[in-house]
Amino acid sequence: MLQLQILLPAILNGLATGAVYALVALGLTLIYGVLHIVNFAHGSLLMLALYGVYFLYNLLGIDPYLALPIMVPAMFVLGYALQRTVIATASHGREENILLVTLGLSIIIDNLALYLWSADTRTINPSYAFETVDFGIAFIAVPKVVSFAGALVITGLLWLLIQRTDLGKAIRALARERQGAQLVGIDVEHIYAMSFGIGIACLGAAACLLLPSYYAHPGVGESFVVIAFTIVVLGGMGSFAGALVGGFVIGLTESLGGLFLGENLGKIGVFVIFIAILLFRPTGLFGQRA
């Protein structure tokens, strides 16, 4: 029953999806690590990005991978604007309200999408969508292979940004010590918004990599928000390495869960892990103990 013939492709598929999940979670963990915001709208914004890639393909004929230089900056700008205008003002800085404000945002975005574009699932059909790469023991769809590689590359770039640039230094300083950062002249509001923007820009990249093997639908946000949070909590809030490892773990859980428990029950694995982590080890695998 546990033939390698079906187990190996399932594992490879899970790792490929996991890499993209990691990219989604990276944005979330950055936002939490710096702003201490539990961004409930993260899934909805990913959904928006997926629609963006969909329309770029359908209306302008732009291949999703070629849409990266459009989507990433666009989502960055959206994120920056949201933090600077809506989130910062509506929450009055109260942490308990930030979650609610981002919840409100997610409700608005999800239902705006439903209203504008209806609940039909939107898929794109580029020529390579159903082609496979023959790995000997498994055929893996081309889009999955590309998304795996792409996610790793972008994660690397993000790491470089945070570790090797002045902006990254400012972000790290602010994350560690807000008042100190202010004292050395860092424009707190601006850097906050930059961090949020970068976190959302990750979603733009993830959407480009994801759409060829996935779909756009107003409800996608809801599914992703829990997956993203599970990975972030599993990996430890604010930890990059954690988000990466967590992403792979969750991708594998989803794929193997579906294989062994069926398409309906298989989805339970992620939530069970989420609850278990929250209850027993809320700081996650790589997080600092509070």
Indicate whether 58 belongs to the interface with another protein (CB under 8 A): no
Instruction: State which of positions 187-226 bind another protein (CB under 8 A).
Output: 213-215, 217-218, 222, 226
Q: How far is the CB of 15 from another protein (least distance, A)?
A: 13
Binding mask 238-277 for another protein (x = CB under 8 A): -----------------x--xx--xxxxxxx--xx-xx--
The residue from 91, 124, 168, 182 that contacts another protein (CB under 8 A) is 91
Indicate whether 73 belongs to the interface with another protein (CB under 8 A): no
Nearer to another protein, 196 or 214 (CB): 214
Indicate whether 113 belongs to the interface with another protein (CB under 8 A): yes
Residues 6+ apart with CB under 8 A from 106: 40, 41, 43, 44, 221, 225
Residue in the structure block whose two tokens are 């309200």 = 97
Number of residues that bind another protein (CB under 8 A): 68
Separation of alpha carbons 227 and 234, rounded Å: 10
**Partners of 122 in the β-ladder:** 216
Residues 6+ apart with CB under 8 A from 47: 109, 110, 113, 216, 217, 218, 220, 221, 224
Indicate whether 122 belongs to the interface with another protein (CB under 8 A): no
The residue from 229, 240, 248, 286 that contacts another protein (CB under 8 A) is 229
Q: Residue 33, Cβ neighbours under 10 Å: how many? A: 25
Separation of alpha carbons 65 and 200, rounded Å: 18
Q: How far is the CB of 202 from another protein (least distance, A)?
A: 20
Indicate whether 59 belongs to the interface with another protein (CB under 8 A): no
Nearer to another protein, 55 or 215 (CB): 215
The residue from 114, 157, 161, 241 that contacts another protein (CB under 8 A) is 114
Indicate whether 79 belongs to the interface with another protein (CB under 8 A): no
Indicate whether 177 belongs to the interface with another protein (CB under 8 A): no
What is the secondary structure of 149-170 as a DSSP string? Answer: HHHHHHHHHHHHHHHHSHHHHH
Nearer to another protein, 123 or 182 (CB): 123
Instruction: Tell me which stretch binds another protein (CB under 8 A): 59-67, 110-118, 163-171, 191-199.
Output: 110-118
The binding site for another protein (CB under 8 A) comprises 1, 3, 5-6, 9-10, 13, 38, 86, 89-92, 95-97, 99-101, 103-108, 110-115, 118-121, 123, 130-132, 139, 141, 213-215, 217-218, 222, 226, 229, 233, 255, 258-259, 262-268, 271-272, 274-275, 278-280, 282
